[in-house]
Amino acid sequence: MTVPDKPSRATWLQGPAAPCETVPKGGFLPWRVILLGAPGVGKGTQAELLNQRLLACHLSTGDVFRGAGSRNDAEQTPAMQEALACMRRGELVPDMTVWELVRERGECLHCTGGFILDGFPRTVPQAVSLKQFLDKDGLGLTAVVSYELPASEIVSRLGGRRTCEKCKAVYHITQRSPKVEGCCDHCGGDLFRREDDRPESIKLRLEAYNRSTEPLIEFYRKAGLLLQVSATGSPEEIYDRTMPELETRRLALAAERMWAAEENRRDT
Ligand code: AP5
């Protein structure tokens, strides 16, 4: 078996029947991170950068829906057809459909290499389902990073976005352009413009974010997991702001865990 140079997302993108070539790093405290933020704030871009450093898979629910959309209609369940119609309009997919899709990929959430969730959870009911699922097996989250950016900049980022149809790498026509126009630097795949990056869909997506996703900021603040990070500047600058926050949080978690183990040892 050849060891991939970065984690494989086969199981996440295609479903539990797909082979996963990831060789989990394992260890004391796997990174289990959620990225929150409005559409176009740069979650996918940061997930790619973080994935190279943390070696935890980048798991995006949006990528799963787009992957299903590129397959034959006959292979899609009615729930998936409804999900794709919601996505094209810029609306959120119903919670039950999203949770079913995540639940059936539960192996990825149990991976000892950890995970970076991008685009999930997006509503309070989704966050509650995820919490119950993780708590059941003692899988604690490391942190929830909430990226923040003014709406005008978000619209310009979405308007120039291009995505690789094969490996899903994300580019921008002026801010983060590929070496060869229309062609992915990583795998040579064709770059395409997402259907939901049309102005009317962008408006609906931002409204859905304000209505349904923003309450998660309070949800995770109360849980003591929230890290708020400004998404202004270049992707590298944002990454440089994110990593120290994550490292500090993880050190605190490691100290908490060692303290609890020590107390346990004394009690027995
Ligand atoms: P999803 O794919 O998750 O889309 P999203 O959350 O709307 O986020 P985006 O992927 O649009 O943006 P991003 O923040 O990842 O930004 P990116 O890095 O690409 O979901 C799509 C749809 O699926 C939803 O609308 C919904 O219908 C459905 N769905 C998915 N999950 C769901 C769920 N859990 N519940 C219900 N429905 C769900 O960056 C954007 C652009 O900016 C790129 O061109 C990039 O190159 C550029 N850029 C990034 N960073 C910078 C920077 N620092 N400076 C300049 N340009 C930058």
- Which tokens belong to 180? 């060869």
266 is catalytic: no
The dihedrals phi and psi of 156, each to the nearest 5 degrees, come to -70, -35
205 part of the active site: yes
Query: Is the CB of residue 42 below 6 angstroms from any atom belonging to ligand 1?
Result: yes
Question: Cα dist. 191→40, 86, 119, 236 in Å?
Answer: 17, 23, 21, 22
- CB of 48 sitting under 6 A from ligand 1: no
Q: Give 172's Cβ-side CA count (13 Å radius).
A: 18
Active site residue 194: yes
Query: What dihedral angle (degrees, nearest 10) is formed by the CA atoms of 64, 69, 89, 92?
Result: -30
Nearest-angstrom CA–CA distance, 57 and 210: 27
Which residue in 25, 193, 194, 221 is the catalytic one? Answer: 194
| pTM of the entire predicted model | 0.92
Closest residue CA from atom 40 of ligand 1: 40
Tell me the pLDDT of the chain (268 aa) as tens digits: 444 556 778 889 888 888 888 777 666 789 999 999 999 999 999 999 999 899 899 999 999 998 888 777 667 788 889 999 999 889 999 999 999 999 999 999 999 999 999 999 999 999 999 999 999 999 999 999 999 999 889 998 998 999 998 888 889 999 889 999 999 999 999 999 988 888 888 999 999 999 999 999 999 999 999 999 999 999 999 999 999 999 999 999 989 888 888 888 888 7
CA distance 168 to 65: 12
Instruction: Evaluate: CB of 210 within 6 angstroms of ligand 1.
Output: no
Closest Cα to atom 49 of ligand 1: 42
Q: Whose CA is nearest to atom 6 of ligand 1?
A: 39
Active-site residue, from 9, 66, 168, 205: 205
Given the residues 122, 162, 168, 241, select the one marked as catalytic.
122
Ligand 1 atom at shortest distance from the alpha carbon of 86: 27
Q: Does residue 193's CB lie within 6 angstroms of at least one atom of ligand 1?
A: no
Catalytic residue among 9, 32, 43, 168: 43
**241 given a catalytic annotation:** no
Is residue 230 in contact with ligand 1, taking CB distance under 6 Å? Answer: no
Q: Is the CB of 37 under 6 A from ligand 1?
A: yes
Rounded to whole angstroms, the maximal C-alpha distance in the chain is: 64
